Amino acid sequence: DQEKLLCEAAGSHGLRRGLARHSRTLLHASLPTSMEEYLAERSRNFRSGLRRARRQSMERTAGLGAFDIREFRGESIDEGIDKLLDLERRSWKVKTTRKRELYVTLNDHYRLFHRQVARAFAASDQAQVLVTEIGGQPANALYSLERQGIITCVLTYQAEEFADRVSLAPLWGRFFEIAIERKLHKVDFNGNTSHL
């Protein structure tokens, strides 16, 4: 019934249903009962790459202070969303430092939308923001939502000034650890990526 509800909601706001019909399978990962089991199912290359990325991120930022990954959920979700949206403004997705044709910038309306959705899901402890902080300063962040044992990442941002020092791998590693700790059974990825 989801498609019917979406079309009705869109129609009530003056949006028309498109004529083209598309279907695609999005990538997902099943979650076992422990992080050790999850890593054992991955390739040796994956495991060593994850360890190396975390070690290098910590080494490259050692002079800047402690390397922490903080979790914001429930009553602290607003603080996490504040950090996430601050990173959005400092990310390569909106900066003009790289040559490209598309800049993916949120406007105030979309920022408010994400904040309201995060609050709604956080009320039942189904929203989280993970933030990598270097010496207390946010370097990258990941915002995700859960429902019925499935978690999906909604937004990720990385500050441009940390891009060559801090990998997203430690953040994703913590994301999987928490999902497994919470006994979730699947991660849905928002789109296709060759860097699972």
Residue among 94, 85, 156 at smallest CA distance from 115: 85
Q: Name the residue with tokens 């044992």.
A: 149
**Phi and psi at residue 67, to the nearest 5°:** -100, 110
> Are 50 and 38 a contacting pair, CB within 8 Å?
no
pLDDT for 195: 40
Contacts of 65 (CB under 8 A, 6+ apart): 134, 135, 136, 137
Coil, strand or helix: which one is 33? coil
Q: How many CB atoms lie within 10 A of CB 174?
A: 18
pLDDT for 52: 94
Q: Using DSSP bridges, classify how beta strands 137-147 and 150-158 pair: parallel, antiparallel or unpaired.
A: antiparallel
pLDDT for 193: 45
CA distance 168 to 40: 21
Residue among 70, 61, 72, 56 at smallest CA distance from 135: 61
| Local mean pLDDT, 10-residue blocks, the chain (196 residues) | 86 81 71 95 93 93 94 98 93 71 78 96 97 95 95 91 90 96 89 44
pLDDT for 24: 59
pLDDT for 94: 72
pLDDT for 7: 86
